[in-house]
Each structure stands twice: as C-alpha cells, then as structure tokens.
Amino acid sequence: MGVKKGVFWGASAGWEITQENFWANAGLDNVFSSFKIRGSYGKVGNIAGIGNFASYSTYSSGLYGGAATLFYGSVGNKDITWETSKKTDIGFSFGVLHNKLQGEFAYYYNNINNLLLSVPQSPSAGLPSSIFQNVGTMYNKGIEFKLDATIIDKKDFTWTSSFNISYNKNKVTSLAFGLTEIQTSTSGLETVNKTLPGYSAGYFWIIRTGGVDPNTGRRIFINKAGNQVLYQFGSTLPAGQFNYMNPDGTRYMVNGIPGAINQADDGVLVGNSQPKIIGGFDNTIHIKNFDVNFLFTYQLGYYIYYGSGAGLMDQRFWNNSTDVLNYWSKPGQVTNIPKPMYGDNVSNGSAMPIDVNLYKGDFVKLRTLQVGYTFPMSLMGKAKINSARLYVSGQNLAIITKYPGPDPEVSSNGNSATSSGVDRNTLANGRTITVGLNVNF
C-alpha cells in the first residue's frame, strides 16, 4: 500500500468580556468575576482500533488429515483511511462571587465521515467474520454543563463541590453503498444490536412478547403484523424451526406452510444502547485534620439487554434463578414465567433475543469514598517526619438502579460502538476497600 497522508486543522477563539469597558460601565463586574465566550472548529483524523497491518491480508497455517493447510487469517483493506471528524464547539464560562461559583456551558457537534467499523461478512464469502472498512457517516451532538462551587471556606472547615451533566445524541446517517445495516453478535451468542441509518449505533433489535398465556402456560410472541402467536415446545417441524400456534390452538401458518417467529422477519428496533445523559457529583470536605471525598456518577436514558437473565431461565442443564419458582402450573394462572419444559431455550430468550430481557440501565453510583486524617505537624516534627496521612477509601460501594443484573455499567463486548449495552455472564465492577498510610520524610 502506498503512503497515505491527510491534513487536519483547527481554529479557536475566545473573548473575556469582563475586560471590556462597557461591562464595567453596566455594573456587571459587581456580579461576574469573569465571563468568557469561546468557540472552535476543526478536523480530526482517527484510526483508533486499527492494527498496524490492517491494510494487508494475512494467512494462517494448520494441519488437516496430516496435510498442511493455508487459510485466511485476516482480510486487509487497501482502501482504508482515516475516520474524519469535523468538530464544532461553542460555549461560555463564568465566575461569580469572586469565582467562588464557576460554571461552563458548551454545545458541540461532531460530524464523522468515513466511519470506521468492523463489518461482518457473509459466511458464504469464505472470509473471516469481519473486515475494517470506512462505511458511512454519523454524528454526535449535545450539550455539556459544569458547575464548581466553594460552599464553605473557613479556617478549619472547607467544602468544595463540582457537578457536571452531559447530554449526547448519536445517530448514524449513512452506511457504505450497498450496505443497509450491520448486525453485531454478543460473544457468539445473541445478535442483539443492529446499526443502520436513522438510529444510534448498536440499537437494540429484538422480538416482542405478550407475557404468558394463562390457559396453556406458553410464551406469547408478537409477529411483525402485531398478532399474538404461542410457542409450543416439542417441535415436529424440520430442524432449525420452532413450533408455533395461534391462540385458538391452530397451527401458525406463513404463506400456507407451518411458520415460526424469527428475528429476521419479526425483530423490531426498540431501544438505545448508549446513554443519553452522563455526569457526576464530586465533593471534598476538610474539617481540621480530617478530610472526606465522595464522588457520585450517573448514566440515564439507555437500555441493557440482560442476556444473563435469559441463561438463568434456560430449561436445559443450566443453573436457574429462584424466579423460575413462579412458573405457570395450572389453567387460569397469571404469571410471567412460562410452563417449564426440559430443553426449552426459546421461551426465555436464549435462542433469540426477546423484550422481557431488556431493561432500563439508568443508575446512580457511589463511585468513590475516601476518609483521611492528617497527623498534626507538632506530632510529626518530633518524629522527624514532614507529613503523614492515614486514609480509608472504597470504590463502587453502592448503586441505585432498577436493573436486575449485578451492574448496569458493564458490557460483554467491551467498548464496541456497535454492540454496547449487552450483559451476558459479565462480572460486575469490583468493590474494593483500601487502607493506607502516606508518610513523607
């Protein structure tokens, strides 16, 4: 591949209005200690996630029946280039009460061209499962607000606080020619996320359900036409199909043949996997020689697919949660757990993702808490120690959320842009307690 080059530039400007005469003449200097308007625009090139040899195809070797083999290890893309972001940022900052209260507000718009994504390939192509490509355009836009305050400033008592909130809207606006969507699987299990124009990246794509039929105990599925269809375990249909029937007991038919609910035909886009609102609330308090710091963080406006919950309801040789004890057992019973049938992995959502496993991921978390004590200098001087501080700190100590899993701030797929918000057998963020002593001589 030949040498590639790109030109990325930016410009910014700011205006501190409090330095102008008209500001003082209007008496505003008595209120605002500072007030600055700023703006910037620029282009940024991004190649994050691309290996050093992504433009080259590589091969791997092996043995089959004692004979040497050679096969594709990865497929290169000689046309791959920078993902280019055109970033606009406009905002202002201010200070009042001699800067005891300071704030920042900003609006941003990030328009991304030549979007870099790992695009899945058809198995019939005989290629590895995905190839890095520049596949389209996307934008992120939103607002950010931050407020810093010195609440108390006394000799033996100080309290400073900082609060921030950000709102972001993400939308894919186009994909490469001939590419209508990108489906991303969850660690080889569910395919829950779909990326396509008009939606945010990694939007949830699942099948709707209507609870449990009180007469039969079967899971009610809703097809693309909005009709209710019952799943009946114990299929007599060809391999790979499931047995479905109408609520009146007749066989569910599609184009005159026994039919089955399937994600390709009946899946719908139902929820955003990326938080719309994120932020934090940080506080530091000093009372004489004691100090306390605590930080709350939060994320709002998004969903998580609880794949672990599907596994806990699976009717094969799997561990189950105690929720299965609420299973349907007699006609007329109203419950949300279908009649247990050994081998049934459809009614719970293991075979194909269903909406009963989709939850709001909103949370507020006590991210960190630290309490410390700094020993008096009068005591330290006698021991020829410059300073000493004893502290106890903790991380991930508490969380407020309606999400039933161990932690809504996890993902089976790491930080993947096209498959975020999926929890399939994922461990929670660790809760840690640390006790320490800092000594300076």
Any idea what the Cα angle at residue 348 is, between residues 345 and 354, rounded to 5°? 115
Beta bridge partners of 219: 212
Mean of pLDDT values over 223-247: 81
Mark 346-365 as b/e (b = at least 16 C-beta within 10 Å).
bbbbbbbbbbbbbbebbbbb
Segment 286-328, tens digit of pLDDT: 999 999 999 999 999 999 999 999 999 999 888 899 999 999 9
Please, are residues 213 and 246 in contact by the beta-carbon 8 Å criterion? no
47 or 366, which is more confident?
366
Radius of gyration of the chain measured on its C-alpha atoms: 29
Mean of pLDDT values over 8-33: 90
60 or 358, which is more confident?
358
**pLDDT at position 259:** 82
What is the CB neighbour count within 10 angstroms for residue 341? 17
279 or 46, which is more confident?
279
Residue 27 has pLDDT above 60, yes or no: yes
Mean of pLDDT values over 115-134: 75
Across the chain, mean pLDDT equals: 89
What is the CB neighbour count within 10 angstroms for residue 408? 26
**pLDDT at position 235:** 60
Structure tokens at 145: 């607000």
CA dist 199 → 108, 114, 179, 236, 352 (Å):
19, 17, 15, 39, 22
State the pLDDT confidence band at 129, using cuts at 50, 70 and 90.
Answer: low
Element (H, E) at 186: none
Mean of pLDDT values over 231-236: 77
Phi-psi region of 51 (alpha: psi -120 to 50; beta: other; left: phi over 0): beta
- Using the structure block, give the residue that is written with the tokens 């433009």: 55
State the pLDDT confidence band at 373, using cuts at 50, 70 and 90.
Answer: very high
- Using the structure block, give the residue that is written with the tokens 């959320």: 401
Mean of pLDDT values over 160-178: 94
- Classify residue 238 by burial, with Cβ atoms within 10 Å: 0-12, 13-18, 19+: exposed
One-letter amino acid of 41:
Y
Please, are residues 292 and 300 in contact by the beta-carbon 8 Å criterion? no
Please, are residues 153 and 100 in contact by the beta-carbon 8 Å criterion? yes
